[in-house]
């Protein structure tokens, strides 16, 4: 005697399988990456560049910076201003996470990663 599985049971199992696969995919590709937060200390990176800029302009207090040194400092500052927003966008794409300022986060969590070092490398002069 041949027993057959009722059609409603087969459809129910297929539906259950599709829903479970969809929820797993959503969790893996949408929810988990959204929970990761990358923090950057832009102020720290900015202060380091500002110190570098100031050092070029005030190499020695006894002798003022030459016109060439001033131009070099201005070009460096302009390049930094252009690279910073691009570097922040690249960080967000590379880590596939939300990137926010460190000052916007009350404290570290297991889902936060510090991306300040990567930002510093990206805006460094080539």
Residue 1 to residue 19: CA distance in whole angstroms: 34
All CATH 3.30.910.20 domain ranges of the chain, comma separated, are 36-123
Closest by alpha carbon to 77, among 46, 108, 44, 38? Answer: 46
Residue 114 to residue 92: CA distance in whole angstroms: 12
Q: What is the CATH number of domain 36-123?
A: 3.30.910.20
Sheet bearing 37-40, strands edge to edge: 98-101, 37-40, 112-114
Q: Token match 């829903």: residue?
A: 19
- pTM reported for the whole predicted model: 0.65
Note the pLDDT tens digit of each residue in 60-99: 555 666 778 778 888 888 989 899 999 999 998 898 888 8
């Amino acid at each position: 005697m041949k027993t057959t599985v009722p059609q409603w049971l087969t459809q129910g199992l297929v539906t259950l399988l599709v829903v479970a696969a969809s929820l797993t995919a959503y969790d893996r590709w949408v929810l988990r990456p959204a929970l990761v937060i990358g923090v950057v200390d832009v102020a720290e990176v900015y202060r380091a560049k500002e110190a570098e800029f100031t050092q070029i302009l005030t190499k020695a207090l006894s002798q003022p910076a030459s016109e060439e040194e001033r131009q070099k400092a201005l070009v460096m500052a302009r390049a930094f201003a252009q690279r910073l927003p691009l570097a922040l966008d690249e960080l967000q794409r590379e880590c596939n996470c939300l990137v926010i300022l460190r000052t916007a986060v009350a404290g570290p969590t297991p889902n936060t990663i510090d991306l300040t070092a990567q930002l510093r490398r990206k805006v460094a002069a080539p």
